Amino acid sequence: MLALGVDAFRINFSHGTDQEHQAALRMLRSTAARAHREVALVADLQGPKIRIGEIAGGSVVLEDGGSWQLDTSGEVGDRRRVSVSVPHLTKSARPGDPLLLGDGQVELVVSGVRGAGVDVRVEHGGRVTSHAGLFLPRARLRTPILASKDLHDLGIALAEGVDFVALSFVRAGSDVLAARRRLDRAGHPDVGLIAKIERAEALANINGILGAADGIMVARGDLGIEVPLERLALEQKSLVARANAVHKPVVVATQMLLSMVASPRPTRAEATDVANAVLDGADTVMLSEESAVGQFPVEAVSWLDRICRSTEAAIASGAVRVARPPTVSSERDAAVAEAAVRLADESGAAAIVTPTHSGRTARIVASARPRSVVLAISSQAATRRRLALTWGVEAHECPASLPLDSLRDFAQALVATRPGVRRGDSIVLTAGYPVEGRPTNLVTVLSVDRPRGSGRPATGPARARS
């Protein structure tokens, strides 16, 4: 998978044991190190997902037009009722509210609220299994973003050195800020937070979420249950554009190549879906079942890579036009980054080299979708790994402090190692002047030549990103 283009691995903490999670994270980190790859590890926490309780016999079939009751008794359910893990259930639901079970195939409507239970009418029935997910799109549930299981899993993830934590069922920016305070108190301020957008409530609060998070994930599985299915593609495009505009990485996820769980080739519709995510401006496209439990995980990665590369080649050649997102920043480093992209595009630069401490400058440059590869150089290992989720960026190690002359030499040596680069090719370099401790305020054009000093890239050439 690494050889075929994987830039990040997600561990889903909703499944598996502590020992399995620890073993997987250690194996992935050591494998990436042996491959000399800056790979991000993402811990995806279960979050406050609402589930029904146990059902006698494991499942029950609900018929259209029938009735059922939800309560919080904790008792085993049957054809008449089931227990649910919803605090203040009777205050959260109102007559007429829709409720969805599982993947949304079973649709219920609240018909009444009485005592400690909620009566529902079965609109579209089907088989319901124990512990199926329950969705209340119109409810405003006040559940903590990190439940006890999440806090336990978070401790394991942080101990194993993950680069990002994905927060499930984020409702507002306050959820992200609460998780950030938890990370700060635990001594891990460098761990990024990805807000998974899978609730209708999150769409109304997306500006606050983007302001607090380090990136977002368009989690189309649960989001496609909470919003009308006919609007899902429109919501995806809007979310991607909003993230692009504020220079935050955006992941598009769920059922990208779902048929490849059991097939060695994707469907035509799936190939089109992946390509459209790239055209929308997604930084990352993510596999789930395909690589976690599917029969063809390597083939799924290979197809994902092929589709991304083919689509991006068409964009670079001008065969397909993609609107670049408008910037929402008037800060100096944003202006310099945009100037660097214009220079690179007009000169046909072999690369844009951008020193970065936090990753911000590299993200701003990449968000303008330059035709040239963005080579981010940083002395911060955590920054280099986090940039694995940003489109078009290859991260390389560099010394902690480089005077401007040494930085020029380092950039020339780094670009000269790339396949296909020839003497005389141009390089666009961004920098802070004086370099140490300054924001990005300078952009210059170099040419590939023999470096004047001894500065050399600390790592070999990296493969082009998909």
Tell me which residues are annotated as active site: 10, 51, 196, 254
The Cα–Cα gap between 151 and 179 comes to 10
- Tell which residue, 466, 349, 345, has the closest CA to residue 412: 349
Sheet (strand 8-12) strand order? 8-12, 40-44, 164-167, 192-197, 215-219, 250-253, 284-286
270 burial (CB, 10 Å; 0-12 / 13-18 / 19+) is: buried
Record the tokens describing residue 190, joined without a space: 């460098």
- Tell which residue, 281, 293, 229, 212, has the closest CA to residue 252: 281
The Cα–Cα gap between 337 and 362 comes to 8
- Tell which residue, 62, 74, 2, 9, has the closest CA to residue 37: 2
How far does Cα 9 stand from its chain's mean position? 11
Alpha helices in 368-466 (DSSP H): 381-386, 404-416
- Tell which residue, 282, 269, 268, 271, has the closest CA to residue 304: 271
27 near 71, Cβ under 8 Å?
A: no
453 near 438, Cβ under 8 Å?
A: no
Record the tokens describing residue 231, joined without a space: 């609007």
Q: Prior bond to 266 cis, omega within 30?
A: no
DSSP sequence for 176-204: HHHHHHHHHHTT-TTSEEEEEE-SHHHHH
DSSP sequence for 258-290: GGGGT-SS--HHHHHHHHHHHHHT-SEEE-SHH
Per-residue b or e along 376-399, where b marks 16 or more CB atoms closer than 10 Å to that residue's CB: bbbbbebbbbbbbbbbbbbbbebe
Neighbours of 184 (CB within 10 A): 11
Which backbone phi and psi does 150 adopt, to 5 degrees?
A: -65, -40
How far is residue 163 from each of residues 32, 154, 190, measured CA to CA in Å?
13, 12, 8
